[in-house]
Structures are given as structure tokens and as C-alpha cells.
Amino acid sequence: MDDLHLRKIRTMPLPDEFPGVHAMGDEETEAALRVCRSKSLYRYYGMNLLKETSSFEAEFADFLNIPYVVAVTSGTAALHTALSALGVGPGCEVIVPAYMWVSVIAAVVNLGAIPVLADIDETFCLDPADVARKITPRTVGMIAVHMSGAPADIVRLAAVAKQHGIFLLEDCAQCVGGSIDGRRVGTFGDMAIFSFQMNKNMSSGEAGAVVTHNEELYRRAVASHDAGYSRSDTGKLLMDDTTSYGWGRGLRLDELRASILRVQLRKLPGTIDRMHQSKYKIRQWLETCPELSLRRVIDPNGDTGCFLITIFPDATSAHAVNDRLRDLGIASASAETSNVILADYGMHIYYNIPALVHKVGTDYRGSPWSLTENQNSIYTYAKGTCPRADDLFERSQLLAIPSCLSHSDEDEILEAFQEALASVFQLAS
Ligand SMILES: Cc1ncc(COP(=O)(O)O)c(C=O)c1O
């Protein structure tokens, strides 16, 4: 082995992704203790109820500038709650992106509806033109997922939804706090969902939220996430609210996690700012490299910065640069979310989801694929269904940008990129 192959730029792993977690401190501990001491961990009543969950909902509504928020137990719970409030069921087709997280498709399938894959473009989010091509008389809506920290082309997607009279559900799980022209993601669609799981910009380990401008959808979401009935301001079940009542899923958030989320929400702008600064320092240098291109970001000011996506001319050079970066020590301890070629990024990629590719049903009848209501919705989900995404997945690299990078961490990432590009593309140094 020559010197070049022995040299490491870093010997310590990069910090793990977990953006909100790096900001955790005594404030979160104090909040959790406050709730434990109150002995009132359930949101609707208790011996000394602190109303952490309803306070979090009000503060998150304020942050987004949207009237209605329902806190739930996870982003997956939020997707099920929102789709059920929107009335999705058998006979419905819902358009989903080729790049997402498996929960997006799980929620559609669990409700008896058919997911229809649409391609992505260089934003790595839904391509509005492909969404328009995928609309059929059975299409009821689309789920636009703001992937890997930066917003989708949501204004154009909203226009497609409006033109065709279908709903737009925004999935902001990976882009909490992102915006376009100062308007927060989550406020462009009919409804939106958020996740506060541990890899997200703010976190209580597990939790989520459903948001909307529409009061009726809000009441339906409250009913669906709870026991099937919406509630009065004092938490009383409204048994005669006929426009919202139905069957509940028991996805209420508890006081403990809500108290932690209130602290994490206050820290969110700082968390985003740190990731954004690190990412754009690296991105600005990469912009000068003709060997690669970068993900198209609709509004760099509204990019939360938690991931950097670089696009190479072909799969061979993408893998070679990625491997070289790893050899140089650019990787975190949990390597799956550190630097990966997107094709290898697990169930974020449609063709890596076996139950989707093989149309595995949710019950003994093979629902939703076998339901009479869905007999005209015949789709495939194997690799090849979304050719533009397939091509991008093969030759794009995802690099997590932790919220606690030091200047020397950033410099080492830059130095490693310089060296990897020089060795793979055989540039004169
Ligand atoms: C895009 C997207 N949607 C939904 C979810 C589901 O969120 P949760 O893990 O909180 O259920 C995730 C979580 O990873 C996600 O990345």
C-alpha cells in the first residue's frame, strides 16, 4: 500500500446525525422532571395537569403560522391520522415519491388505498410534471415529501393539486423548520405531517404532529388520533360532532414527550442555523468542482441543512468517491446514515421495500391489492418504475451534516473531498 492509501484525514468518527439530540441539555431534563413530579402524564386530565401537550400544539402552530396542530405519537401515526382525516380508503390512488421513507407508503396501504409511484427530479423530491402524468380518475391526492432537509418544489406541486382537484399532504418529517421564501413547509398543502423521532431536527425520541388550516380536517384528525371523537377546548369528548366522529387509533401524545418538544422547539432555529452554516461552507466549495453537481435547492435560505447530496457523472465515480471518503475517515459511527450512495439507502428507496415490490397485503385477503374497489389500479413497484430516480439513486451520495460540527470537522470534510476528487478523477494537485 502506498502512502496515499495509508493516510487518514480523520481517525475519530464524525458525530452522529441526530440533529435535535446534540442540542439537548439540562432544560429537557428539567422539563421531563417537571412532568414526572406533577404525576400527570396523560394529556387530557390528571392530578396536577400541566397541559404540556396543548401548550406544545399552540407553540408549534405559532412557529409554523398555521391555526391547527394535533400532536401524535410518531410521524407514521401522523401519516395515518392525516390520510384518515382526508377520507382515504379502498378505490383511492395516492401519488407518492420514489424517494421517501417506507411509512409514507405504509400509511396508504394500511388504509386500503393504492400507492402510485411518481418520479423525482434534481430536487430529490416529487417532480411536478410526473405527478401530473400519474393522475387518473381514481387519484385522490399526493404526498409531497420534503426529503433530506430541503423543501420540495411545493408551490408547483400545490398548483398541480389545485388544477386536478386532489389533496396535497406535505410530509415534513425530514424538514422540520424548513421554508420557501420565508413560509414554513407544512403550510402549503391541505394537511402536513411532522416527525420528532431521534434522527429529526427536533426530537423527543418518538413523536409527531398533524397540521392544517382547515377546521373540519382538524376535528377529523383529533377524532382519528384519539378515540374516534373530537374534543372541546376543555378536553371533553364531543359525541354529537357528526362531521368528525368515527373510529379512533389511540395515537395521543403524552405530557412527558410534549414537555421535551417544547424545549427542542425553542432550540430548533439554533440547531438549523448550525447545520446550515456547515452545509453551505462545504457546498460552496463543491459548487466550484466541475466533476460533480449538487442537488437543486429551491430556496437555500429555507434549507435546514441536515444533509448534503452530491451527484456524480456515473455510479462508478460516485462509489469511488464515497469509498475514498470513508478510507480517509469521513464517516460517522452509525455508517448507514453517514455517507451512502442513495441506491443503498434502505427503505427510503422504493425498490428496496420488499413488501411493496411484492405487493404484500395487510390481511388474509391481500388488501389493498386484491380489493374489488382497486381492480383498475394495477401498478408495478420494482426497480425501473421511476427511471429518473433510479439513475439519480445510482450516482448520488448523501452526507449527513450533524448539528455539532466544529470548524475543523468542516475543514476535514472539505480536505477529504478535495483528495477524493483528485484521486478518483486523477486531477493534478
Ligand atoms: C419522510 C418520513 N416520513 C415519515 C417518517 C415516519 O416518522 P416516524 O419514524 O416518527 O414514525 C419518517 C421517519 O423517519 C420520514 O423520514
Sequence-separated (6 or more) residues with CB below 8 Å from residue 39: 46, 47, 48
What pLDDT band is residue 428 in, cutting at 50, 70 and 90?
A: low
103 CB near ligand 1 (under 6 Å): yes
Give the residue-averaged pLDDT of 188-209.
98
Q: Of 200, 236, 279, 383, which residue is the catalytic one?
A: 200
* Cell digits of residue 233: 377546548
Span from the CA of 51 to the centroid of ligand 1 (angstroms): 26
Point out the ligand 1 atom lying closest to the alpha carbon of residue 145. 1
- What single DSSP character describes residue 101? -
What pLDDT band is residue 81 in, cutting at 50, 70 and 90?
A: very high
Quote the CA–CA distance of 212 and 308 in Å, as a whole number. Answer: 29
200 tagged catalytic: yes
List, in sequence order, every beta strand (DSSP E) within 339-420. Answer: 339-341, 396-400
353: left (phi over 0), alpha (psi -120 to 50) or beta: beta
For 369-398, how does the pLDDT look when each residue is reduced to its tens digit (9 = 90+)?
Answer: 999 999 999 999 999 999 999 999 999 999
Say how many C-beta atoms besides its own lie within 10 A of residue 335's C-beta: 11
Sequence-separated (6 or more) residues with CB below 8 Å from residue 158: 168, 188, 189
Burial of 411 (0-12, 13-18, 19+ CB in 10 A): middle
Q: What integer best gives the mean pLDDT of the chain?
A: 96
253 CB near ligand 1 (under 6 Å): no
Give the residue-averaged pLDDT of 92-102.
98
Closest by CA to 143, choosing from 155, 156, 131, 129, is: 131
Give me the pLDDT at residue 171, please. Answer: 99
Give me the pLDDT at residue 57, please. Answer: 98
Q: Of the ranges 9-18, 22-31, 289-298, 360-369, which one carries the lowest mean pLDDT score?
A: 9-18
| Mutation to probe ligand 1, out of 143, 174, 307 (largest number of atoms < 8 A from CB) | 174
Task: Read off the pTM.
Answer: 0.97
Which residues does residue 399 pair with via DSSP β-bridges, in sequence order?
A: 308, 339
Span from the CA of 285 to the centroid of ligand 1 (angstroms): 31
Give me the pLDDT at residue 5, please. Answer: 56
251 CB near ligand 1 (under 6 Å): no
Q: Are 27 and 347 in contact (CB under 8 A)?
A: no
For 225-250, how does the pLDDT look when each residue is reduced to its tens digit (9 = 90+)?
Answer: 999 999 998 889 999 999 999 999 99
Span from the CA of 164 to the centroid of ligand 1 (angstroms): 27
Quote the CA–CA distance of 36 and 26 in Å, as a whole number. Answer: 15
Span from the CA of 136 to the centroid of ligand 1 (angstroms): 27
Give me the pLDDT at residue 233, please. Answer: 87
What pLDDT band is residue 333 in, cutting at 50, 70 and 90?
A: confident
Quote the CA–CA distance of 41 and 50 in Å, as a whole number. Answer: 9
Give me the pLDDT at residue 3, please. Answer: 52
- Determine what percent of the chain is predicted with pLDDT higher than 90: 94
99 CB near ligand 1 (under 6 Å): no
101 CB near ligand 1 (under 6 Å): yes
Asked whether the predicted pLDDT for residue 280 surpasses 80, the reply is yes
Quote the CA–CA distance of 107 and 88 in Å, as a whole number. Answer: 10
| Mutation to probe ligand 1, out of 17, 76, 143, 398 (largest number of atoms < 8 A from CB) | 76
Give the residue-averaged pLDDT of 294-310.
98
For 396-413, how does the pLDDT look when each residue is reduced to its tens digit (9 = 90+)?
Answer: 999 999 999 999 999 999
Sequence-separated (6 or more) residues with CB below 8 Å from residue 188: 154, 155, 157, 158, 168, 170, 180
Q: Of the ranges 8-12, 180-184, 195-199, 267-271, which one carries the lowest mean pLDDT score?
A: 8-12
| Mutation to probe ligand 1, out of 99, 103, 201 (largest number of atoms < 8 A from CB) | 103
Span from the CA of 101 to the centroid of ligand 1 (angstroms): 6
Give me the pLDDT at residue 1, please. Answer: 44
What pLDDT band is residue 427 in, cutting at 50, 70 and 90?
A: confident
Closest by CA to 350, choosing from 378, 375, 379, 370, is: 379
Q: For the chain, which domains are there?
A: 26-264 (3.40.640.10)
Q: Are 229 and 239 in contact (CB under 8 A)?
A: yes
Q: Of the ranges 7-11, 43-47, 76-80, 222-226, which one carries the lowest mean pLDDT score?
A: 7-11
402 CB near ligand 1 (under 6 Å): no
